[in-house]
Amino acid sequence: MDTFDIVKIELNPTGYLIEKMMNRNVFSTNSEKSTLQELKEDALREEIKSSVLQKQAKVEQELAIARRIDNDEKVEIGDLYQQKILLK
């Protein structure tokens, strides 16, 4: 992992993970799947990974809101609520 990747992780961890998942080739030519069951298992595995990434993104969103509340002297609840709705 180079410095650029570390900076991307620090600035936008969720975006970095999504980019890595999008760049990953699930069905590579080196490891062709021969049976339908193996393909279904791979699809289920990827679905679980996607679900985990979505939950991690929600956690990051909540942490960002918590950091904002912690760092700001004055916080308007309506603003935070509206931001939370927009990000869902």
pLDDT number for residue 48: 92
Residue 23 clears pLDDT 70, i.e. is over it: yes
CB-based contact 38:47 (threshold 8 Å): no
Mention every residue, 6+ apart, whose C-beta is less than 8 A from residue 57.
14
d(CA 18, CA 49): 11
**pTM, to two decimals:** 0.45
Q: Where are the domains of the chain?
A: 3-87
Q: What percent of the chain has pLDDT over 90?
A: 16
Confidence at 17, pLDDT banded by 50, 70, 90: confident
pLDDT of residue 33: 52
Confidence band of 70 (pLDDT split at 50, 70, 90): confident
Q: What pLDDT is attached to residue 54?
A: 92
Residue in 15, 5, 84, 25 with CA at minimum distance from that of residue 53: 15
Reported as a pLDDT band with limits 50, 70 and 90, residue 18 is confident
